[in-house]
């Protein structure tokens, strides 16, 4: 296999695409679509989001220090795209998309009712990097759709129809190819 050398760029693909909810001090909510979000720590549970400073949601998150990451699905792909190309400065994105703002359990920012999983976050630190700032945040609560829980209470997120973003396009997730540890499972008697 032959490869070309290119200039440095953000070619990590695919990435999760999420709708992040935030609000101003009066409670006016907004939704921003981000593809630069990721898990960064287990104990305590933490994640990061990267936001351009000129985006409307940037100041809302910076001032309030709270936001929610709402996972996206095939059913939410149009709303996900709209929230990424329209500005909350000009419109109410909940109204535009028909999504429902639902009260969060801990933070003072709404979550998206239609999202299968919402992670309530509190900003711990902001890293100024250049085009984007990274909000390093603690996950203080998770709300999961009850219909995705099996009879033992285990979350079966594969049933949610999650999507990702790769090289400018939205993709639905496909078939399972394995599970963590499957490469050694048969030899070592690991069961799923």
Tell me the residue range of the domain where 156 lies: 15-188
Across all residues in the chain, what is the average pLDDT?
Answer: 94
Q: Assign 157 a pLDDT band (cuts: 50, 70, 90).
A: very high
Whether residue 5 lies inside any domain: the answer is no
Whether residue 1 lies inside any domain: the answer is no
Q: Assign 187 a pLDDT band (cuts: 50, 70, 90).
A: low
Q: Assign 186 a pLDDT band (cuts: 50, 70, 90).
A: low
For residue 37, the domain's CATH number is: 2.30.110.10
Contact 118, 141 (CB under 8 A): no
Q: Establish how many alpha carbons lie within 13 A of residue 147's alpha carbon, considering only the half-sphere containing its beta carbon.
A: 6
167-187 mean pLDDT: 87
166-176 mean pLDDT: 93
Whether residue 71 lies inside any domain: the answer is yes
Q: Establish how many alpha carbons lie within 13 A of residue 84's alpha carbon, considering only the half-sphere containing its beta carbon.
A: 18
Tens-place pLDDT, residues 34-93:
999 999 999 999 999 999 999 999 999 999 999 999 999 999 999 999 999 999 999 999
**Residue 38 to residue 31: CA distance in whole angstroms:** 18
The per-residue pLDDT for 10 is: 87
Distance of CA 163 to the CA centre of its chain: 11
Count of domains for the chain: 1
Whether residue 155 lies inside any domain: the answer is yes
Whether residue 120 lies inside any domain: the answer is yes
Contact 73, 116 (CB under 8 A): yes
Q: Does residue 191 surpass a pLDDT of 60?
A: no
The per-residue pLDDT for 70 is: 98
**Residue 144 to residue 148: CA distance in whole angstroms:** 8
Q: Assign 189 a pLDDT band (cuts: 50, 70, 90).
A: low
């Amino acid at each position: 296999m032959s490869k070309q050398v290119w200039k440095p760029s953000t070619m990590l693909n695919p990435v999760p695409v999420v709708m992040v909810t935030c609000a101003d001090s009066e409670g006016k909510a907004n939704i921003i679509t981000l593809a630069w979000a990721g898990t960064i720590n287990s104990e305590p549970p933490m994640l990061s989001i990267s936001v351009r400073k000129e985006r409307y949601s940037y100041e809302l998150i910076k001032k309030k220090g709270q936001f929610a990451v709402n996972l996206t699905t095939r059913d939410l792909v149009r709303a996900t795209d709209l929230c990424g190309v329209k500005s909350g400065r000009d419109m109410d994105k909940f109204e535009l998309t028909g999504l429902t703002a639902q009260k969060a359990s801990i933070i003072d920012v709404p979550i998206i009712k239609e999202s299968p999983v919402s992670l309530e976050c509190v900003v711990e630190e902001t890293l100024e990097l250049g085009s984007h700032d990274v909000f390093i945040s603690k996950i203080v609560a998770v709300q999961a759709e009850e219909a995705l829980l099996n009879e033992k209470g285990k979350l079966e997120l594969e049933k949610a129809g999650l999507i990702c973003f790769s090289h400018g396009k939205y993709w639905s997730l496909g078939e399972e190819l394995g599970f963590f540890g499957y490469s050694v499972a048969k030899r070592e008697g690991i069961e799923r």
